[in-house]
């Protein structure tokens, strides 16, 4: 995790979470970071370490979901030579590596009940015992843990130790998803876009066309900031003309006319193409002028298609199933300008 920490955002929900992390950093107590994937839990963990009096000591990271259950305890607590098959020599665990520093446990909810029990003892008493050894060792480690699960609900269901949850939750920092961070999408899109343009050697930053900016703000971002970064960098990388605003954005990189067909479904409704499934009627409740609504929808489709095809009208017409003359008529009808 040795990297420059970048916190980009201006929404109050995001800034409140960062401020809470800053206040908790000098404390030596455990901190639990909760949030959806891609919300920046790793950055919060790094901030907690860098602003503490342990900043010169190790920051050790372990992704609990990346290891099979049989190896997690050996990774956390270490092992002696001959403790199990393949253990040819003694090895330090992550707790020993993080002594006097910070141990960041990502995906905490994936730990087995056995590993949770041993983790509780290490947190409670500051002692770890290597697998195959009977001699405990003292360690001075600050724990920062992260999860995208509802751990209190897991504790109520009996799949997570409530005593461990109590011990780790001195402070709980819950990161807001990107869709709830009002005004942050344009700021992040501009930051990642400019950085990618500089990487590509562009002489200046052209920004985004209006319809692309609207699409970025309207998208729900299930993958949060990590997904936005990928989408923006891909859009910049695929755009050939740095002198004109970026006019196309692809949210699903797997989208292709040659995409493998899905396996047959037992549910007939689920097997229908998306274009044949009736949309939710809720989106039509506010329509008072049918003709204006249809024209607005048609115009948005044309602007998007022209952007995707770099204003190549013949390719756009082919993509929309129109003749060249029909497309030209639609462009004049809606007053679409190339600068859009």
Domain total in the chain:
2
Looking at the structure, tell me whether residues 234 and 127 fall in a common domain.
no
Looking at the structure, tell me whether residues 242 and 327 fall in a common domain.
yes
Q: Give the CATH number, domain containing residue 190.
A: 1.10.8.60
| Each residue's pLDDT tens digit, 55-81 | 999 999 999 988 887 788 888 888 888
Read off the pTM: 0.73
Closest alpha carbon to 333 in 298, 289, 293: 298
Looking at the structure, tell me whether residues 142 and 82 fall in a common domain.
yes
The boundaries of the domain holding residue 41 are 12-176
Domain end position, chosen among 149, 176, 203 = 176
Looking at the structure, tell me whether residues 167 and 306 fall in a common domain.
no
Looking at the structure, tell me whether residues 107 and 243 fall in a common domain.
no
| Each residue's pLDDT tens digit, 205-226 | 999 999 999 999 999 999 999 9
User: Is residue 339 one of the residues assigned to a domain?
Assistant: no
99 CB neighbour count, 10 Å cutoff: 17
Looking at the structure, tell me whether residues 243 and 168 fall in a common domain.
no
The Cα–Cα gap between 330 and 326 comes to 6
Show the tokens assigned to 56: 């010169």
The Cα–Cα gap between 68 and 21 comes to 31
Looking at the chain, the whole-number percentage of residues with pLDDT higher than 90 is 56
Q: For the purposes of burial, counting CB atoms within 10 Å of the CB of 137, is it exposed (0-12), middle (13-18) or buried (19 or more)?
A: middle
Q: Residue 42 pLDDT more than 90?
A: yes
Looking at the structure, tell me whether residues 168 and 189 fall in a common domain.
no
Map residue 280 onto helix, strand or coil: coil
User: Is residue 293 one of the residues assigned to a domain?
Assistant: yes
The Cα–Cα gap between 116 and 161 comes to 7
Looking at the structure, tell me whether residues 128 and 186 fall in a common domain.
no
User: What was the pLDDT predicted at 281?
Assistant: 56
Q: What is the dihedral of CA 233, 238, 239, 241, to 10 degrees?
A: 120
Domain end position, chosen among 176, 210, 233 = 176
Domain end position, chosen among 128, 157, 176 = 176
| Each residue's pLDDT tens digit, 91-135 | 888 999 999 999 999 999 999 898 899 899 899 889 888 888 888
Looking at the structure, tell me whether residues 81 and 203 fall in a common domain.
no
DSSP result, 207-274: -B-HHHHHHHHHS--TTHHHHHHHHHHHHHHH---TTS-B----S-TT--TTPPPPPP-S-HHHHS-G
| Each residue's pLDDT tens digit, 12-41 | 999 999 999 999 999 999 999 999 999 999
The Cα–Cα gap between 264 and 272 comes to 10
The Cα–Cα gap between 37 and 147 comes to 9
Looking at the structure, tell me whether residues 191 and 153 fall in a common domain.
no
Give the rounded distance of the alpha carbon of 148 from its chain centre.
11
246 CB neighbour count, 10 Å cutoff: 23
């Amino acid at each position: 995790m040795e990297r420059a920490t970048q916190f980009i955002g201006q929404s109050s929900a995001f800034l409140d979470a960062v401020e809470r992390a800053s206040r908790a950093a000098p404390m030596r107590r455990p901190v639990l970071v909760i949030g959806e994937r891609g919300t920046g839990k790793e950055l919060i963990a790094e901030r907690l370490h860098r602003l503490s009096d342990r900043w010169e000591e190790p920051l050790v990271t372990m992704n609990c979901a990346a290891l099979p259950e049989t190896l997690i305890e050996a990774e956390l607590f270490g092992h002696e030579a001959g403790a199990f098959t393949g253990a040819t020599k003694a090895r330090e665990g992550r707790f020993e590596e993080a002594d006097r520093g910070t141990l960041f446990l990502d995906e905490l909810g994936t730990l087995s009940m056995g590993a949770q029990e041993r983790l509780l003892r290490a947190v409670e008493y500051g002692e770890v015992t290597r697998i195959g050894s009977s001699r405990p060792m003292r360690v001075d480690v600050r724990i920062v843990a992260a999860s995208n699960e509802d751990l209190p609900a897991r504790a109520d269901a009996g799949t997570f130790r409530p005593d461990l949850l109590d011990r780790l939750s001195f402070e709980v920092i819950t990161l807001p998803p990107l869709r709830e961070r009002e005004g942050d999408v344009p700021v992040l899109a501009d930051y990642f876009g400019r950085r990618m343009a500089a990487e590509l050697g562009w002489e200046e930053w052209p920004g985004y066309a209006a319809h692309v900016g609207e699409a970025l703000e309207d998208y729900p971002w299930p993958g949060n900031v990590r997904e936005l970064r990928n989408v923006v960098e891909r859009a910049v990388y695929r755009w050939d003309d740095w002198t004109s605003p970026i006019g196309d954005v692809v949210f699903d990189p797997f989208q292709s006319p040659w995409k493998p067909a899905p396996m047959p479904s037992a549910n007939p409704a689920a097997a229908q193409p998306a274009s044949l499934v009736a949309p939710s009627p809720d989106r039509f409740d506010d329509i008072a002028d049918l003709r204006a609504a249809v024209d607005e929808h048609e115009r948005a489709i044309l602007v998007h298609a022209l952007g995707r095809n770099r204003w190549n009208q013949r390719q756009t017409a082919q993509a929309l199933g129109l003749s060249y003359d029909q497309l030209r008529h639609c462009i004049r009808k809606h007053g679409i300008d190339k600068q859009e």
